Structures are given as C-alpha cells and as structure tokens.
Amino acid sequence: MRRIIILKRSLASLLAILVCIVTVNLAEANEIESISFLFPAPYAEATRDLVQQFNRENRGKIKLSVIRGPFATEAMSDLAISSLILGKAPFDGLLMDVTWLPKYAATGWVEPLESYFDQDDVNSLAVGAREGNSYENHLYRWPLVADMGLLYWRTDLMKEPPKTPEELILISKSLQKNNMVDWGYVWQGRQYEGLSCVYLEMIEGFGGYWFKTNDNKIGLDQAAGVEAASWLQSLIKEGVSPQAVTNFAEQEALQSFRAGDSAFMRNWPYAWAELQQADSSVRGKVGVTTMVANPGYSTATNGSWGLTVLSGSSHIDAAVKAIRFLTSDESQKQLFLKYGYTPTKQSIFDDPFLLKEAPIISELGRALKVTKPRPETPLYAQISDVLQRQLSGILTVEQTPGNGMVHATRNTEQILISAGEQR
C-alpha cells in the first residue's frame, strides 16, 4: 500500500516536471515581446484606445503597456529620474517633455534613434515639430504631440485679438472699465516652469533672447529682458491681471477664463477642448491666436512631448514600432479630434477634412511656425530655476525688474562657471 502511494507520488511529480518543461518550451516558441512606456496621466488616458489597437494588430508578437504617471510635468520628471538613477529602468520608453532631452542624453539614459528614423521621416514633420528632438547631432526623441503657448481671447468681447503688448493692456482696461470682465489677462505667474514659458514668449516678443547655447550668451539683463519682466509686473500693478496670478498655474488660469472672468488667457492647446465643454461659460466664444509681441516677433514656447527609448531596453525594435504606430497620421488625427492634442505631421495641418471640421487647426499650425525652444542644455533645469525665482520676486514686487534680471544673469553665469569647473 505504502509503496503504491510513493509510486503515485513520484509519478505525479515526474508529470509536473514534464508539464513545466513543455510549457517553458512552448512559451519560448512564440515569445511575446512585452514593452512598457511611462506616460504622464493625461497622455496615458488619451492613448488608451490607440494602445489597445496596437496590441490587437500585434497580437502574439508585441504587448505594449502604458504606465500611468503623475499629472504634473515636474512630478513626472521626478518619478522618471528617481527610477533611472537606480540603474535599470522598469520601462522601455518614456514620453518626455522637450526640456528634459539634453539632460537625459548627456547622462546616456536614452537610446539614439537616427538608425530608425530617416530624413524622409524628419521631413514629414511640421517645421516647428522638428525642434527639440536632437542633442549633439543625435536624434533621441520622436514627437507625439506638438505643444505651444497660445493666447486665448473672447470673440464676444472684441472683433480682433490684440497683436502687441500695449494693445492687450488697452483692450483689457477698457473692458474692465465697462464691467464686461473682472480681469483682463490671466497667465501662469507661479514660481514654476510655466513662468519661464510665459517669460520666453515675452522676451522674444520684445526682440530679445534668453540664452544662446552656442556661445553661452545670456540676454536676460539686456533691454528686451528687462522690458519683458517690467511688462509682466505692470500687468499686476495696473490691475489688468489679478494679484493672485502670482500663484496661478495653467489650471487656475483656465478656471478664471472658463468662468468668463477674464478677457485673455495664456495656455496650451489642451485648454481649447476644456473651454468647449457643456458647463463652460465661454463655450463658442473663444478664439486662439499667437502671443502678443512687437510686430514680427510673435513667439510661442515649444512645449512638445515626444517618445524616447531608454538605453538598456532589450526591445528597441518593438519600442520603435510602437512609437511609429502612436505617431502615425491616423493616431495623430484621433488624438487631435478627441483630445485636442496638436499633431506633429505637416500633412495633418493640410488635411482639407480637418480644416473644415476643426478650423482651429489652422491657428495651431500658424503658432507652430513661430515656436521657440527653451535653452537646450543639460543645465536647463538650473537656468530656468534661477529665472523663475527672480521673476517671482519681481512679480510679488519685492524686486525691481532691472535688479531682478541682473541677479538672474549673474546666477546663470555662476551655474555655467561651476559646471565648467566640473567638466
């Protein structure tokens, strides 16, 4: 009796081992490549359908999963970096803000992609979308969504949007005087990256520049730099913008404009869809144009998001395939129509169907032509940080624009010097 039990047991374990071997072999025979990308939460949601479609088309070969990151850009960057500095990242690809690229490329965290995307691919991009994808002559990033600063205006309050900074103040003041709106212009004045974006549009708009990477020239303390800071300060001083704008990010500005409290707003293209929702007080009363500037200097800060493959990924081919799918014409159309994400391919801006169906695309295309990148250097985070600090000081009227910009320039020089010493 006992012997039979032992026999049975050894047979059973033998069978179990056999089953194991067979399944392992089977799995190897049709191995599915699992790849994962980390996306900020809004993009993860917007691409859910596309990801499903990709997985259907590649069933049995590639399984793409998108990890949903945080909402805020800075929180997203912190998450990505803290997983990267620990060594092997738990994902193959990353959806990356335009300003992160030099830093990631300099540390060797991203894979060069020029052998996967040729010149024809690059030529298919709209001119404004070709920027910010390369660092030191290597292509690292393929743009998923073009994003740029826009001026939103109320079509029910005026016939034409303002073109110059003075016009914006004049129109705002007269509307405020006639009690048509509480505030003229809402924007991003909080001490964070958004403030640098606002400022870049103004300093370029007054004919100046922030930082030239080729010869390390800093333009903050020159006439246009000070003028841009003074103009932003005067918006608050003269009551065109609420005092609270010094703590506004995109969300707060949108809240004010969406409630019909303001005549103008600076924001990214995503705001368009929000303003057209049923509970928006300004639905159907909103126009979009490029930021006010001295004639000929209109500028939109480039805030595009692009896909990168992380070094050390063992599925580069599959990841590139996924990138190609997510950035295809069809995908971009879908992202634009459903979520208002600005396309990166020129062909979509010329699509007669879209031009008729969603005329805003022509304005977006126009803004995309005047996009400017923020300084493309691995030290960008530091350089932007000192600028934000000084600007915030100027806006909360602790600091004169002239002094603040001199400080910002000196601090930027300091950063360059101490980086030079480390090199």
Partner 1 sequence: MIFLLFLPSLLLLVVVFLLPLFRYSWLSFHADSVVTGLIAIPNGVANWVRLSLDQRYWQALGQTFRFAVVSVSFELILALSIALLLDQRWRGRNAVRAIALIPWALPTTVMALGWRWILNTPYGPIDRLTNLIGIGSLNILGEPGLAWLATVLADVWKTTPFAALILLAGLQTIPSDLYEALRLEGANSLSSLRRITLPLLRPYVLLALLFRLAQAFGVFDLIQVLTGGGPAGSTESVALYAYINALRFLDFGYSATIIISSFIFICFACLICWFLIKVLFTPQRSFLKKVS
Q: Which residues bind partner 1 (CB under 8 A)?
A: 74, 77-78, 81-82, 85, 103, 106-108, 189-192, 242-247, 252, 255-256, 378-379, 381-382, 385, 388-390, 392-393, 395-396, 398-399, 418-419, 421-423
Looking up tokens 């006639």, which residue turns up? Answer: 178
* Residue 407 C-beta: closest distance to partner 1, Å: 10
- Backbone φ/ψ region at 68: left (φ over 0), alpha (ψ -120 to 50), beta: beta
* Residue 315 C-beta: closest distance to partner 1, Å: 24
* Residue 344 C-beta: closest distance to partner 1, Å: 27
Choice between 35 and 395, CB closer to partner 1: 395
Q: Where are the beta strands (DSSP E) in 155-267?
A: 183-186, 211-212, 217-218, 262-267
Per-residue burial over 380-411, b if 16 or more Cβ lie within 10 Å, else e, is bbbbbbbbbbbbbbbbeeebebeebbbbbbeb
- Backbone φ/ψ region at 24: left (φ over 0), alpha (ψ -120 to 50), beta: alpha
Choice between 107 and 314, CB closer to partner 1: 107
* Residue 223 C-beta: closest distance to partner 1, Å: 23
Q: Where are the beta strands (DSSP E) in 261-334?
A: 262-267, 286-289, 300-301, 305-309
Choice between 272 and 380, CB closer to partner 1: 380
Sequence-distant (≥ 6) Cβ neighbours of residue 22 within 8 angstroms: none
CA atoms within 13 A on the CB side of 394: 29
Q: What is the DSSP string of 71-88?
A: SSHHHHHHHHHHHHTTSS
Choice between 81 and 406, CB closer to partner 1: 81
Structure tokens, 15? 């069978």
* Residue 43 C-beta: closest distance to partner 1, Å: 21
* Residue 386 C-beta: closest distance to partner 1, Å: 8
Whole-angstrom distance, CA of residue 272 vs CA of residue 337: 11
Structure tokens, 410? 């000196």
Choice between 220 and 318, CB closer to partner 1: 220
Choice between 243 and 347, CB closer to partner 1: 243
Choice between 256 and 304, CB closer to partner 1: 256
* Residue 399 C-beta: closest distance to partner 1, Å: 7
- Which of 361, 142, 163 has the alpha carbon at shortest distance from 269? 361
211 forms beta bridges with 218
Choice between 258 and 315, CB closer to partner 1: 258
